[in-house]
Amino acid sequence: MAAVPMCPGCRALLSPEEAACPYCGWNVRLTEVRREGGLVERALRPVGGLIPALIGANVLLFVATIVAQKVLLAAAGDREGRGLDGAMDAILSPRAKVLVLLGGNVPADVVRGQAWRLLCPVFLHGGLLHIFVNMMSLRNIGGAVVEAYGAGKALALYLGAGIAGNLASVLWFLWTGNGGNVVRIGASGAIFGLVGMLAALGFRIGGEPGKALWKPMLQSMGIMLVLGFVLNGTGGPILLDNTGHVGGFLFGFAAGWVCTFGIRSRGDLPAVRAWDAIGGLLALFTVAAFVPPALLVAGILSTK
């Protein structure tokens, strides 16, 4: 026997097709949106939600990086890429030339028209420690962003922040002329976009609750910048893209400052659908961005 819908406002029994209660005027459709979420939220619920899905995508691309390095080095006759040592090398520190082939952000190449390098790096990482730190950060703060803004908006702004961070690195190259051929990879620009969103949300909430939100976010940004200056100044093997981090953070802060949040964000059906569409399109663009690298790798292997 099918359940009969009931108005959340006056508890009257309604017909299944009624979007508003004829007795008290309660908008039943908006209640459903607030409870069930938009299309992105419902689609990702079987895998645990947006954040587990993003973590899974990053892990999948990390595994693909390891496999790609093994296959490419074997095809090139590089003995160092074989066996257990070769696998550990790929896991701990994938080679820069492999990351470039897979779509890492090389500013000079982006300027030449390789726009896919603005999206691919968001899901590429330079080793086990790199992806572990980034995924733990995404896990720790991502849920709060989804809760505040909804999954569709969070997805769109996460990918938007990733693009903004990579674009900031390209603009820095155009301004200074430095680092044009240095590959940049990692989800940290997108993650700092989420940090910026929460910082802006804290300022908008205000008071002690708001301070408890924006203060640790700004501290995290400050610590990362200082760490980046120190590591980059030593000239060691670990380098941080401060420009990308700042670009992602500023994008997220601006978005967090102007976007609606909470019940208003989740209850506006046209807005939920619009953000679902934007997030879905950016996700499709991300998938499409990996087509040129895949074709490039396939072309290299076919000539061996």
Q: Where in the sequence numbering do the catalytic residues fall?
A: 188, 245
172-197 residues labelled b (16+ CB within 10 A) or e (exposed): bbeeeeebbebbbbbbbbbbbbbbbb
What's the angle, vertex CA 81, arms to CA 75 and CA 86, rounded to 5? 145
**102 burial class (0-12, 13-18, 19+ CB within 10 angstroms)?**
buried
Question: Following CA atoms 266, 267, 268, 270 in sequence, which dihedral angle do they give, to the nearest 10 degrees?
Answer: 80
Half-sphere exposure of 21 toward its Cβ, with a 13 Å CA cutoff?
Answer: 17
CB neighbours (10 Å) of residue 25? 10
Rounded-to-integer distance, Cα 196 and Cα 176, Å: 26
